[in-house]
Structure formats: structure tokens, C-alpha cells
Amino acid sequence: MPNVGVVGIQWGDEGKGKIIDMLSNYADVIVRFQGGANAGHTIVVGDKKVILHLLPSGVLHDKKYCIIANGVVLDPEVFEKEVQELKNLGYLKDDKRLMVSSLTHIIMPYHKKLDALKEAKGTTKKIGTTGRGIGPAYEDKVSRMGIRVIDLLDKKTFTEKVKQNLELKNFIIKKYYKDEGFKTRDITKAYGAYRPVLKKYATDTAHFLHTSIEQGKKILFEGAQGTYLDVDHGTYPFVTSSNTVSGNIATGSGVPPTSINYILGICKAYTTRVGEGPFPTELNDETGERLRASGGEFGATTGRPRRCGWFDAVIVKRALKINGITGLALMKLDVLDEFDTIKICNKYKIGGRYYDRPPVSIADYERCEPQYEEMEGWKTTIRDVKKYDDLPVNAKKYLARIEELIGVKIAIISVGPDRESTLVLENPFLK
């Protein structure tokens, strides 16, 4: 298939970075279409680990084009730093291969401050955000006060927009939050320094993608976060501020929905979540601790310990429908190697009734009791397994049961963080 979308199926951190890096081998263009530096996508190459927050996970491959599209909110400070770090590591040699949409909205210093102040104040529920200014930046985009890359590139427009914004932002910061405001001059000076670097990469990325499609190039769309962090379909208000589902690939990058041929869902063999909000299969016990330790479940962006629990077929099944998943990549199967028994949640009990789809209200999420079936573990190390046939019988049974419950085929099985520990049953680009 020429164009493939990759999205998170749970609450993020499913292992998207690893799979996108792997699939980049088969793509010509890799596109980030939503979110910002709240993402933390880990790629392991040999004994090196690279964590990307903003740049597409295809950047470790020469001869590929990487795009930050219009749906992303871009922090210029993170952008400059990440570009420089990658160059220092010997990547990103050709500047023409990285592009940023001129329409991409910019994260401003007041966005980060407002993100932190809102979380600290406690008037609204604490979300446990990454503190990267994501929510306030998307708020400004939707309220038509946002500042885009194209605005930053023009000194006069940028100064005017900062001035207009600060009138309101300073009022809120000073009067409501009783904190220190910003000066236009300080911001225009600091952000003026990013003008040359952004000028180098800014372009009409939608046009580039249209031309690439016409030329039959292969495009890989890289989702960030996960379906249950989606602002519409997630566990609202405990979500991020963008649409993380496959439907946003089109709006977030300017390609028509009809140009996307395969949607690959990325899903852990168990479940994790960072930040606040409902999590039906969460284990606040020794088993949860074991999953965290075995899976190295600490946030790639904030370092926070991730909450851990068993595989939840109820949320996964729903996410597959929302995203129109063609195939699933089941990640971190090796993390379950040492467990005697492994549980799968196959339905919820809420107020004496059973459900095989997630509730709509947060209150119902809070009182839902996950119902489990138990399977025998395989108690062997599977990291070195290279073929599906060589997996232990009980691991195969676990995969088969998951497929049966969710009704979608498992296309990729990941048994370790590195590129080699990947069993590809169906390559989306070669289908």
C-alpha cells in the first residue's frame, strides 16, 4: 500500500517510535500531523537510544523526507534543539529533507506558563499535562489568536500579533493567576532568534504531499499520543488537546482521506497511562509494579512513572473501530515473559450490568469493574525470537485470543525495543 497511517490505540507510549522508524525503510516521506513536543518517541539503534519529541521518527533514515505538518503545534526552542542534537549525532545532513508547514502554529512562552498555572491553580481538574504548552496553543489556534510559522517569519506581523496576544494573556496571568506577565520586546527578541532556522525549513508542505502522491511516492503518517487521549474520543477531560485518531491525518496534513490506504494501530500487550484520568485495568499492586519494572515504564518526555495494568480488549476494540484499523502492531510482548498467569479484560461490569464497549461518562469509567479471563504465561525469554513459528505455544495462544476478542489481525509483533526484535507478519507497505 502506498500511504500508511500509524496511530496509538491506548493512552500513548505504545511504541509508535520504534515501528515508524522500522517502516521508514519502506517510505519516501514521513509526516507528523498533530500534537507537539508532548510526544516522546523512542528509537533504539544498536546500543544508542534516541527520543524524539517533535521531529518525525523517520529522521534517522537518510534519503527520506520528513515533514512537520499544519496540525502540529511547534515549539521553536525544542525544534532548534532537536535539529541540532540530531545533526551532532550525524543525522539530518541534508536540510532540504526536513520541512515545516508555514501554517503550523507556534507554541509561545505564555502557552507554557498558562499550562503550568492552570494545572497548579486547581480551579479545574488537574490533567497531569506534560507542561509543554499544548492545550493553550491549540486554544489560541481555535480562537483564531494563534501565531503561525508564516507569522513568525515576518517581523512586523509577529510583533503585532505578540502585542495583541499579550494584552489578553497578561491580563489573565497577572489578574487571575497573580503571576508575572510577559513583555512584547522580550518575546520578539527571543523568538526572532528562531526566524533563520524556521525560514530554512518552512514551506507549503500540503503541496509537497500532493505532488508526492501524484508521483506515487510512499507516505508514512506518524501519530502521536493515543486514541484515549483524543480530545473527542478519549477520556475527556483527561486528554490532550488534539485529535489523535486516524481521521485527523487528513486535516492535520492537508491530504484527502481517500489517499490513506492502510491504518496500522500500535498497541501494547498490556496497558499503560501517564497523567490523570480513568484507567479501568490499572493495577495498584505488586503486579502493576512488576509490569512497570519489566517494561521500563517511565515517561519518555517527563520521566514520570507510567501507570500499568492488564490488556483491555474493551478499549482496544472500540479504538480499532474509531481509527478503521487495517492491522495491529502488538508491542512489548517480551515484558510478559516472566508472568505465571496473564489476564485479559474482556468486558466491564457497571452497576450490575455487563458491557463490551467503554462507557461515555467519566463517572461510569470510575465505577466500572473490569472482568478478566486468565491465561497461562510462557515463562521463557522471547527477545531473540525472529519468527512467529518460534514463539512459545502460550504466547501464540495469547496473541490468538487477543485477535479473537478484538476482531482485527495482528500484523506485527514486537519482542524487544531494538529494530531486530520485530516479527512482521504483514508489512503495510508491501501489502
Residues in the interface with ligand IMO (CB under 6 A) total 24
Name the residue with cell 507542561. Answer: 131
Work out how close the CB of 228 gets to ligand GDP at its nearest, in angstroms, rounded to a whole number.
13
Question: Which residues is 44 bridged to in the sheet?
Answer: 49, 418
Task: Clarify whether 105 is annotated catalytic.
Answer: no
16 vs 347, beta carbon nearer ligand GDP: 16
Least distance from Mg ion to the Cβ atom of residue 234, Å:
16
Kindly state the smallest distance separating residue 248's Cβ from ligand GDP, in Å: 16
* 222 near Mg ion, rule: CB under 5 A: no
Active-site pick, 21, 41, 75, 105: 41
Q: Is 207 a catalytic residue?
A: no
Q: Which stretch binds ligand GDP (CB under 6 A): 163-171, 178-186, 242-250, 413-421?
A: 413-421
Cell reading at 98:
526536513
- Tell me, by CB under 6 A, how many residues bind ligand GDP: 23
Q: What is the CA radius of gyration of the chain?
A: 22
Among ligand GDP, Mg ion, ligand IMO, none, what does residue 230 contact (CB within 5–8 Å per kind)?
none
Q: Which three cell numbers stand for residue 137?
A: 496553543
Amino acid at 372: Y
- Name residues contacting ligand GDP, limited to 269-308 (CB under 6 A): 296, 300
Is the Cβ of residue 15 or residue 416 nearer to ligand IMO in the bound state?
A: 15
State which amino acid sits at residue 253.
Answer: S
Stretch of residues binding ligand IMO (CB under 6 A), selected from 105-113, 124-132, 248-256, 411-419: 124-132
* Residue 335 binding target from Mg ion, ligand IMO, ligand GDP, none, CB below 5 to 8 Å by type: ligand GDP
Q: Which of residues 315-354 bind ligand IMO (CB under 6 A)?
A: none
Judged by CB under 6 A, does residue 264 bind ligand GDP? no
CB of 224 to Mg ion, least distance (A): 8
CB-CB contact of 193 with 285 (8 Å):
no
Q: Is 399 in the site for ligand GDP (CB under 6 A)?
A: no
In the complex, minimum distance from the CB of residue 32 to ligand GDP, in angstroms, rounded to a whole number: 12
Distance of closest approach, residue 13 Cβ to Mg ion, in angstroms: 4
Any contact of residue 411 with ligand GDP (CB under 6 A)? no
Site for ligand GDP contains 42 (CB under 6 A) = yes
Assess 5 for contact with ligand GDP (CB under 6 A).
no
8 Å CB contact between 361 and 318: no
> Which cell is 134 given?
499544548
Tell me if 384 sits within 8 A of 297, measured CB to CB. Answer: no
Q: Tell me, residue by residue from 308 to 347, as one string, x for binding to ligand GDP by CB under 6 A and - for no binding.
A: -----------------------xx-xx------------
* Sole binder of ligand IMO in the list 165, 240, 326, 421 (CB under 6 A): 240
Between the alpha carbon of residue 384 and those of residues 17, 353, 388, the distances in Å are 20, 43, 11
Under rule CB under 6 A, residue 224 binds ligand IMO: yes
* 13 binds ligand GDP, rule: CB under 6 A: yes
* Nearest CA-CA partner of 191 in 149, 222, 237, 233: 149
d(CA 315, CA 197): 42
Binding to Mg ion in span 18-77, by CB under 5 A = 40
Regarding 13 and contact with Mg ion (CB under 5 A), the answer is yes
Of the candidate spans 37-45, 200-208, 233-241, 392-400, the one that interacts with ligand GDP by CB under 6 A turns out to be 37-45
Q: Which does 127 bind (CB under 5 to 8 A by kind): ligand IMO, Mg ion, ligand GDP, none?
A: ligand IMO
Nearest distance in Å: CB 46, ligand GDP: 13
Binding site for ligand GDP (CB under 6 A): 8, 12-18, 40-42, 44, 296, 300, 331-332, 334-335, 414-417, 421
Active-site positions?
13, 41
Binding site for Mg ion (CB under 5 A): 13, 40, 300
Binding site for ligand IMO (CB under 6 A): 8, 11-13, 38-41, 127-130, 132, 134-135, 224-226, 229, 240-241, 274-275, 300
